[in-house]
Amino acid sequence: MKEMFFGAAIASFQNEGGMLEDGKSLSSWDKHTLDGTNVSTGEKGDKGVDFYHRYKEDIGYVKDLGMNMLRFSISWSRVLPDGFTLNQKGLDFYIKVVDELLAKGIEPMITLYHWDHPQFLEDIGGWLNHKTIESFKLLADIIGKTFKGKCKYYCTLNEPQNVSYEGYYAGVNAPGLKLSKKDTLQVVHNILLAHGYAYRELKKNDPNCKIGFANCGWVAIPNDPKNEEEDAYNRFFECEPNRIGDGRTIYQDPIVFGDYPKDYYEMYKDFLPEIKPGDMDIIHTGLDYTFCNIYSGFYIRKNEQGVREDYNDKPGVLAYTPGYRFIPEVMYYALKFFYRRYKLPIIITETGANDFKATGIGNDDYRRIYVDSVFLNQIKKAKDEGIPVDGVLFWTLIDNFEWTHGYDSSYGFLSFDKEFNRIKKKSYYWIKEYLSNPEQDIELLCTKHNGRWE
């Protein structure tokens, strides 16, 4: 586990606050959560967790934890409030963040788009309008120029599935639309074009930078590893018949291989988007890394008729929070499957566990258990088999505004009080001690503390 990036990931909308400060305009997510109606807790998302004012303190925690990478995202509406005019004050904020990280010896990873685009662009059609693609290209150029020589790792898109499917088809995430299947696949296609242009802009400014996009999805794992791994692999990379815009291959295949997968054309044949000549050349950039966000999953088994099926109710599998199953093997199989298909080095750009504050602030033993299981048993197993895993970034440093769940979710090593003062949880001390020597024997570390970190 030596010489890896061990870090945390955060996101502009969820962390920053400063919604209209220093020239920032409203983003699609600001608008979506402004009156609380789209949030299960009824809360508003305008304050994040005040990272805009507390970035130095938060970066101090990253350092104190012994982490060597922070992945954060750019608020597009802070840098280009109307989509096309640079707001220098907005850009300055990210210059300060990067300088602070570098001064502390922490590698920045910049995500260009973690779901929040300027509402100004959404008002003219969002990802259905080519102006949004042009604006993203400009954003990539500005960020590439500004951070050339300072930042080496870029993530163009975070989980585009949660924009296309959840945002434009299911209407849950911003912008809360329920488009037709055809239009949703056009959104997918246009987001891929945006990636293609952004990749070129970043490489133009710094040919040596490393670029990926954060792929995601529930992980299919074999119920019987001896006989069902192939089935799980196929399921892992299958297009989704009903969740239009979801799925892994519809994003990563065009980027890496230059075309949508075969089952895309079969499954979606009645509502394919407009694919112009030359589009695939723009999208087909190749990638330097597979970036992946790994959380939970389900089993694959053959039923009595020998037919493959998803299997969610395996006895003994703990559902650690509503909807999330605690299956450490999801990490190993995701890494294995991604590497087998795309043959790229991997950085896990997010993994983590949410307790919905169920165990009380600070008392988050299960997060430690999650962390040590995914860390040691699974990432190590994958690495021992020769899968090049170069880093793991935890979601997340500090509890934050968890999209449509508001402040109800709790993914952080730190929490906060009503004034946004930070509070360390047990898992903070645990991860800090572990990172002081990632080679140490995890069992001994646990025994030493008898499972307790105060």
Residues 317-356 vs ligand BGP: string with x where CB under 6 A? ---------------------------------x---x--
- Cβ proximity to ligand BGP: between 213 and 453 the closer is 213
The stretch near ligand BGP (CB under 6 A) out of 175-183, 228-236, 269-277, 403-411 is 403-411
Closest approach, Cβ 209 to ligand BGP, in A, equals 22
DSSP string, 400-418: ---GGGGGG----SEEE-T
Collapsing DSSP to helix, strand or coil, 39 comes out as coil
Q: Which residues neighbour 297 within 8 Å (Cβ) at sequence distance 6 or greater?
A: 218, 219, 220, 221, 325, 327, 329, 330, 333, 334
Say whether 350 is catalytic: yes
Both structure tokens of 238: 């299958």
Q: Which stretch binds ligand BGP (CB under 6 A): 141-149, 158-166, 385-393, 429-437?
A: 158-166
Size of the site for ligand BGP (CB under 6 A): 13
Q: Using CB under 6 A, which of 159, 201, 206, 329 touches ligand BGP?
A: 159
How many Cβ atoms from other residues are within 10 Å of residue 362's Cβ? 14
Nearer to ligand BGP, 135 or 293 (CB): 293
Window 264-303: contact mask with ligand BGP (x via CB under 6 A): -----------------------------x----------
Q: CA 364, 368, 369: angle at the middle one, nearest 5?
A: 110
- Tell me the C-alpha distance between 142 and 144, whole Å: 5
For residue 167, the minimal CB distance to ligand BGP (Å) is 12
Q: In what order do the strands lie in the sheet with 219-222?
A: 219-222, 297-302, 308-311
Residue number, 301 or 405, with CB nearest to ligand BGP: 405
Contacts of 160 (CB under 8 A, 6+ apart): 188, 191, 192, 195, 213, 251
Coil, strand, or helix at residue 137?
A: helix
- How many Cα atoms are found within 13 Å in the side-chain-facing hemisphere of 14? 26
Task: Check if 21 is active-site.
Answer: no
Q: Is the dihedral of CA 405, 11, 352, 436 positive or negative?
A: negative
* Least distance CB 321 / ligand BGP (angstroms): 8
Q: Does residue 11 touch ligand BGP according to CB under 6 A?
A: yes
Query: Which 359-398 positions form the footprint of ligand BGP (CB under 6 A)?
Result: 395
Cα–Cα distance between 92 and 328 in angstroms, integer? Answer: 40
Least spacing, CB of residue 4 vs ligand BGP, in Å? 21
CA proximity to 442, closest of 381, 371, 382, 393: 371
CA distance 46 to 286: 37
Nearer to ligand BGP by Cβ, of 120 and 320: the residue is: 320
Among 93, 120, 403, 407, indicate the residue that binds ligand BGP (CB under 6 A): 403
- Part in contact with ligand BGP (CB under 6 A); list of ranges 95-103, 155-163, 173-181, 304-312: 155-163
Among the listed residues 16, 159, 228, 402, the single catalytic one is 159
Enumerate binding residues for ligand BGP (CB under 6 A).
11, 14, 158-159, 162, 293, 350, 354, 395, 402-403, 405, 411
Q: Please list the active-site residues.
A: 159, 350
